[in-house]
A and B are shown apart, each in its own frame.
Chain A
Amino acid sequence: MSDKSINRIQDEIIEEFSILGNDMESIVFYIMELGDKLELLEDKFKVDSNLIKGCQSKVWLNAEVEDHKLILNADSNTDITRGLISLLVRTLSGQSLDDIIHADLYFIEKIGMNKVIGSQRSNGLTAMIKQIKLYALAYKTKLQQQT
């Protein structure tokens, strides 16, 4: 659960990546390493209904709501995508539904991630962000209907 704001976390990520400079190989290796630290997604969540279709990599995303905050768990079948996901989870998991709905994820461009994955290849990631926002919106609507 995060007590830092989305933007605070984004700034930290940008700071971490700035140490790597422009060396694309180091950046990609670092992203892969980040993936190793991503909390494992239980197999029961790796189902087609949680699957987000990317280009060549698969992403499973499970979202639950706890106390008006969205809790994200995700995994991928490729290391690099898993690393990219870990950054999204780190930034967005545990944040309030409203903050997620309105989040501007500027760190992606700032750390050159769009360059790493190119416009076509990043589709999986774009799809994932969209899906997270949709979950947040859906849960919000549901909660509003309950009250």
Chain B
Amino acid sequence: MSERILTEVISANPAMIRKQFPLLDQQVNGNPLIYFDNAATTQKPVQVIDAIDGYYRGYNANIHRGIHTLAEKATDAFEQTRSVVRSFMNASSMEEVIFTYGTTDSINLVAQSFGRKFLEAGDEVIISEMEHHSNIVPWQMVCAERGARLKIIPVNDAGELIMDHFDQLLSPRTKLVSIVHVSNSLGTINPVAEIIRKAHLAGARVLIDGAQAAAHLPLDVQELDCDFYAFSSHKMFGPTGVGILYGKKDILNEMPPYRGGGEMIREVTFEKTTYNDLPFKFEAGTPNIADVIGFRTALEFILEISKPLILQHERALLAHAHERLSKIEGLRIIGTAREKLGVVSFIIEDLHAFDIGMLLDAAGIAIRTGHHCTQPLMKRFGIEGTARISFSVYNTFEEIDFLTERLLKIIKIKRR
């Protein structure tokens, strides 16, 4: 199909896409479901559901150790996902693709393994004010243990990193910079290439939290030159309980395993255990086989539509939402970065986000309310939380119009 036709398939005929998501076809509180909570987790296309079902019905077996036919088949399917993930993010080898249980788990792996080995008293880790708690707490833990310090890049009123401040924070003491690629609360796309380049010049390693980016933005870890990149399957049409940690091979090889058990060893005696090679060294125990297999189908779904087209559709939705919402009196959008993606956070005068969320839910619209696991960021904006809508490929312009209509109604009734 030509690009133009494909674009039309998504934006003019979203039914084609929506049809692949059985869950979307339902009524909630008497209204057709509008799912605007995609930054929390996306829905799953039928192919993904079938892949998981097919594994359990057809070839459920433990992997890497069995010699029987089912075990071979399961191992092949599992490793096939690794291969698709490798090419999805253009890692240079399969050894650089580590399966975890999610972004949080990936970050904890780096904190516990890299952090405990390389951080020393007086060293510094730089994060930002807009990080998800998953990219704050693991660093607080390891820094406290190692006597290292956490440094914070502040955020301006538009919700962008203050890069001058970053430049000032970088020093020979900086061991690691860990930054979110796209903010889950604001939608801000951070200048990660610039951050990586500068951090490397200062001799620091860089981890990018790609939880909100991997499904949307082009991803080429070699071009980015990041040292680590973390993301979650469930935010990109795949099942829960699967995450990816990309790491450069030379660094991963220097890092000790952080969980012990089966799969990650070569030989165990009571005197000494030798570890398996990458990536297995970091994959102790039986992994989430079914969901890893399902994840491959999710990635293929994305590749089939093509990432640039998904991005184009999501940008159009974002522009439409901004246009509509900014006309609502008393509504303030939190996060107006020039480079922004997929998420609109807002507050409404005299209305608590919780009330907005509950009232929209009564109309069948699923949104997120609260601090979105970014409490320091909320504090920066002097608010308790926001109402947040976030888009995916199956959302439509009409859904945004319906949301706008409902918001106007809620405000009208409130002001009465």
Contacts A22-B30, A56-B385; A27 near B354 (Cβ below 8 A): no
Within the complex, the shortest CB–CB distance from B223 to chain A, in Å, comes to: 41
Kindly state the interface size class of chain B when it binds its partner: 10 to 19
- Which residues of chain B are within 8 angstroms of A114 by Cβ–Cβ distance? none
Nearest CB in chain B: distance from A57 CB, A: 5
Q: Once the chains bind, are B362 and A56 in contact (CB under 8 Å)?
A: no
Q: How far is the CB of A76 from chain B (nearest CB, A)?
A: 9
Minimum C-beta distance from A60 to chain B (A) = 15
CB distance from B25 to the nearest CB of A (A): 19
In this complex, what residue of B is CB-closest to A33?
A: B413
- B90 interface residue, CB < 8 Å from A? no
Instruction: Give residues of chain A (68-116) contacting chain B, Cβ–Cβ below 8 Å.
Output: 77-81, 116
Residues on A with beta carbons closer than 8 Å to the beta carbon of B385 = 56
Contacts of B358 in A (CB 8 A): 28, 80, 116-117, 121
Q: Bound state CA distance, A29 and B351, in angstroms?
A: 13
Give the chain A neighbours of B157 by CB distance below 8 A. Answer: none
In the bound complex, residues from chain B placing their C-beta under 8 Å from that of A80 are: 354-355, 358-359
Contact across chains for B351 and A27 when beta carbons are under 8 A apart = no
Min Cβ gap A28→B in Å is: 4
Given that A29-B413, A56-B370 are known contacts, is A79 also in contact with B362, CB under 8 Å in the complex? no
Contact of A23 among B30, B352, B413 (CB under 8 A): B30
Establish whether residues A79 and B352, one from each chain, have CB atoms under 8 Å apart when the complex forms: yes
Report chain B residues within 8 Å CB of A56. Answer: 353-354, 369-370, 385
Alpha-carbon separation in the docked complex, A28 to B355 (Å): 9
Q: For the complex, is A14 an interface residue (Cβ under 8 Å from B)?
A: no
Q: In the assembly, what is the distance between CA of A20 and CA of B355, in Å?
A: 19
Complex interface bits, B60-90 against A, C-beta within 8 A gives 1, otherwise 0 = 0000000000000000000000000000000
Flag whether B306 is at the interface (Cβ < 8 A): no
Partner of B359, one of A25, A55, A117: A25
**Docked complex Cα distance between A78 and B350 (Å):** 10
Flag if B29 contacts A78 (CB, 8 Å): no
Q: Which residue of A lies closest to B364 (CB)?
A: A24
Check B177 for interface membership: any CB of A closer than 8 A. no
Q: Per a CB cutoff under 8 Å, which of B30, B351, B355, B413 touches A24? A: B30
Q: How far is the CA of A105 from the CA of B353 in the complex (A)?
A: 28
**Nearest-CB distance from B409 to chain A (Å)?**
9
A32 close to B355 (CB less than 8 A)? yes
Q: Are A28 and B362 in contact (CB under 8 A)?
A: yes
When distances are taken between beta carbons in the complex, the residues of chain A under 8 Å from B30 are: 22-24
Contact B29 A24 (CB under 8 A): yes
A57→B354 CA distance, assembly (Å):
7
- Of A32, A56, A57, A116, chain B has the most CB atoms within 10 Å of the CB of A56
Q: Is there an interface contact between B355 and A27, defined as CB atoms closer than 8 Å?
A: no
* Mask of B311-340 contacts with A, CB within 8 angstroms, 1/0: 000000000000000000000000000000
Question: Which residues 1-45 of A sit at the B interface, judged by CB distance below 8 A?
Answer: 22-25, 27-29, 32
For this complex, 26 residue pairs linking A to B, each with C-beta atoms less than 8 Å apart, are: A23-B30, A24-B29, A24-B30, A24-B362, A25-B29, A25-B362, A27-B362, A28-B358, A28-B359, A29-B359, A29-B413, A32-B359, A32-B414, A56-B354, A56-B370, A56-B385, A57-B352, A78-B354, A78-B355, A79-B351, A79-B352, A80-B355, A80-B358, A80-B359, A116-B358, A117-B358
